[in-house]
Amino acid sequence: MATTTDSDRRGWTQNPDAVKHDILTVAVSEFAANGLSGTRVDTIASRTRTSKRMIYYYFGDKLGLYTSALEAAYLKVREGEASLDLDHLPPREGLARLVAFTFDHHRRNPDFIRMVMIENIHNAEHLSASQVIRDMNVAAIEKLSSICGRGQEQGVFRDGIDPLRLHWQISAFSFFNVSNRPTFSAIFGNELFEEQSQSELRQQIVDAILAMVSQPIAVS
């Protein structure tokens, strides 16, 4: 709930950007909470400073709003990731930092995770339509690629690492940890999701990833 900076619409002044932004913020939260068909346009409207009329005015229909909300969610999260600068770190530390960051970042952005879950339920058909999103994510892989490249040059990483697979693995842990928390803790209890355990899990994952990129060692 950011204090609307440039837009304190006192009394009553037009401010299209603020209105759009307001709608999108609420939309993300509603869609993330209730899914595409579970969300009511009227509910979104009522949580907004504006009216349902404006939703249709700016976003056409429910699907248009959903797609925009999806993009907004991706954008916000990828922005957070961009703040991470790893190039000045040695490869192993850089990778460790990246993994730990990803783990935490996912935890901090449950709405984003939920939007992705929902999009997966819908077979990513709306995401596919968004070039914006594709570009952002490819950029994320490049960061990983660069670390891998440096690591291999310096001989601290093994050859033949596929950055995409690495990304897949890092994501798997970090994503699952948030996405499946409800069922997991309904079945096995909440223990794994308390702070202490989460720290340990994060460390475990960092170690696992590092082991995976290291020179192979025969295990007895």
Partner DNA sequence: AGAGAAATGTACTGACTGGAACATTTGTTT
Partner DNA sequence: AAACAAATGTTCCAGTCAGTACATTTCTCT
Cβ atoms within 10 Å of 189's Cβ, excluding its own: 9
Give the one entry of a second copy, DNA, none that residue 134 binds, where binding means its C-beta sits below a cut-off of 5 to 8 angstroms depending on kind.
a second copy
Site size for a second copy (CB under 8 A):
56
With beta carbons less than 8 A apart as the criterion, state whether 127 and 135 touch. Answer: no
Non-local CB neighbours of 169 within 8 Å, separated by 6+ positions = 209, 212
Identity at 180, one-letter amino acid code:
N
Length of the chain (residues): 220
Does residue number 14 form part of the binding site for DNA (CB under 7 A)? yes
| Full 3-state SS string of 7-44 | HCCCCCCCCHHHHHHHHHHHHHHHHHHHCCCCCCHHHH
219 binds a second copy (CB under 8 A): yes
112, 80 Cβ separation under 8 angstroms: no
Q: Which does residue 124 bind out of DNA, a second copy, none, counting CB within 5 to 8 angstroms by kind? A: a second copy
| Residue 187 interacts with which of DNA, a second copy, none, CB < 5 to 8 Å by class | a second copy
* 114 near a second copy, judged by CB under 8 A: yes
Q: How far is the CB of 179 from DNA (least distance, A)?
A: 24
User: Which span sits near DNA by CB under 7 A: 40-48, 77-85, 155-163, 183-191?
Assistant: 40-48
The residue range among 19-27, 43-51, 142-150, 170-178 that interacts with a second copy, by the rule CB under 8 A, is 170-178
Beta-carbon contacts of 5 under 8 Å, excluding residues fewer than 6 positions away, are: none
Cβ 65 vs Cβ 23: under 8 Å: yes
Q: Among 75, 209, 205, which residue's Cα sits nearest to residue 133? A: 75
Contacts of 60 (CB under 8 A, 6+ apart): none
Which of residues 168, 196, 202, 206 is near a second copy by CB under 8 A?
Answer: 168
Restricting to residues 137-166, name those near a second copy by CB under 8 A.
137-138, 141, 164-165
Instruction: For residue 132, state whether it binds a second copy (rule: CB under 8 A).
Output: no
Shortest approach of DNA to residue 4 CB, angstroms?
13
Q: Interface residues with a second copy (CB under 8 A)?
A: 34-38, 114, 116-124, 127-128, 133-134, 137-138, 141, 164-165, 167-169, 171-173, 175-177, 179-188, 191-192, 201, 204, 208, 210-212, 214-215, 217, 219-220
